[in-house]
């Protein structure tokens, strides 16, 4: 594997790989394993902190005193960025997408503010120009004699993807305990950085693993464009060809769209928590779990198969969710 970019230690790594026997038995399909990135530590930042280790290293090396980023009003990424900035002594400026001002400041949004982030709420239409908004804010800081480092949505770019390249190398070492010729990695997908890093590592390391990316809101064309952009920049910077790993993109469980969870999905989340003791957030891991159970019921996997569910964290979003009618 080519030389990798610099990183700064923020996460508690490696995260464990655990066998979910009760969940596997209840759902009656493959043996399910869980890659516990909900245990990366650092404010329960999930897989987001893996990407931020590279972005904050670059920000500090550039002399930045501020980071600027964006996400949904309950963004795990923005919360993780705010916590990391507080730890490292940088200011944090975030743009949050919200159709209307939230009636209360809760969960991830609350934690961003507690960590001292400067929050600007923008409408979905305004958010469509998020990259321009962030560049303009960085220019304002430069004009004031300061320096800002812009972190894209989800830290999903050719720099942030290295966090999941490293994570997949961890998994490759841990997977020796799995008695299967081929392993399927199942994960929630949105901004593309997680999938890009996993597939890059599988390709470069020659791992015998399949990748399934479950959309939490976007179409296959949108997601494919993001992956192509990330890999194009990565190959230009670190060499080699674009990864040739087939990615099964599943977009049949988007439901009402990003951040919208059906009662049926929430019931599956609650069931999984009761069978594992783990928290699953409605936007990402909950939707990916719902898709996994549905695909098992449809006969996608057999009892000899092994699936690694990559738990990307995000448990704080549970506290901003109405589970009425489910529990």
Which helix (H) or strand (E) segment holds residue 18: the answer is: strand 17-19
Do 41 and 11 touch, CB atoms closer than 8 A? yes
Give catalytic status of residue 184 as yes or no: no
Distance CA 197, CA 182 (A): 19
Enumerate residues 6+ apart whose C-beta is below 8 A from 58.
5, 6, 149, 159
Enumerate residues 6+ apart whose C-beta is below 8 A from 261.
255, 269, 282, 283, 286, 287, 321
Which residues partner with 213 through β-bridges?
A: 187, 249
Which helix (H) or strand (E) segment holds residue 183: the answer is: strand 183-189
Do 20 and 186 touch, CB atoms closer than 8 A? no
Per DSSP, the residues of 194-248 read HHHHHHHHHHHHT--EEEEEEESS--HHHHHHHHHHHHHHHHHHH-SPPP---EE
Active-site entry in 24, 75, 156, 191: 75
Q: Tell which residue, 175, 146, 169, 150, has the closest CA to residue 160.
A: 150
Enumerate residues 6+ apart whose C-beta is below 8 A from 258.
72, 190, 216, 217, 218, 283
Per DSSP, the residues of 157-181 read STTTTHHHHHHHHHHHHHGGGS--S
Which residues are tagged catalytic? Answer: 75
């Amino acid at each position: 594997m080519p030389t990798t970019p610099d990183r700064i230690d923020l996460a508690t790594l490696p995260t464990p790989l655990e066998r979910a026997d009760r969940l596997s038995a209840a759902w009656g399909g493959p043996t399910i394993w869980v890659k516990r990135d909900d245990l990366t530590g650092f404010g329960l930042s999930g897989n987001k902190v893996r990407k931020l280790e590279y972005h904050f290293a670059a920000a500090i090396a550039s002399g930045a005193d501020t980071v600027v980023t964006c996400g949904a009003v309950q963004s795990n990424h923005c919360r993780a960025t705010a916590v990391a900035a507080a730890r490292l002594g940088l200011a944090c400026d975030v743009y949050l997408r919200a159709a209307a001002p939230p009636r209360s400041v809760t969960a991830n949004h609350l934690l961003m503010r507690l960590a001292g982030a400067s929050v600007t709420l923008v409408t979905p239409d305004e958010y469509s120009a998020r990259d321009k908004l962030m560049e303009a804010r960085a220019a304002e800081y430069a004009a004031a004699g300061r320096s800002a480092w812009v972190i894209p949505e989800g830290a999903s770019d050719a720099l942030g993807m290295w966090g999941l390249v490293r994570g997949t190398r961890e998994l490759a070492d841990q997977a020796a305990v799995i008695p299967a010729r081929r392993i399927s990695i199942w994960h929630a997908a949105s901004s593309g950085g997680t999938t890009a890093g996993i597939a890059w590592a599988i390709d470069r390391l020659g791992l015998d693993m399949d990748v399934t990316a479950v959309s939490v809101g976007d179409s296959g064309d949108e997601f494919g464009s993001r992956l192509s952009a990330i890999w194009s920049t990565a190959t230009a910077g670190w060499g080699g060809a674009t990864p040739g790993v087939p990615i099964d993109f599943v977009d049949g469980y988007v439901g009402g769209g990003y951040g919208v969870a059906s009662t049926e999905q929430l019931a599956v989340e609650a069931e999984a928590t009761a069978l594992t003791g783990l928290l699953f957030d409605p936007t990402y891991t909950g939707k990916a779990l719902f898709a996994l159970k549905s695909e098992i019921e449809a006969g996608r996997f057999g009892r000899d198969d092994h699936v690694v569910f990559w738990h990307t964290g995000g448990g704080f979003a549970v506290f901003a969710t109405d589970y009425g009618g489910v529990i």
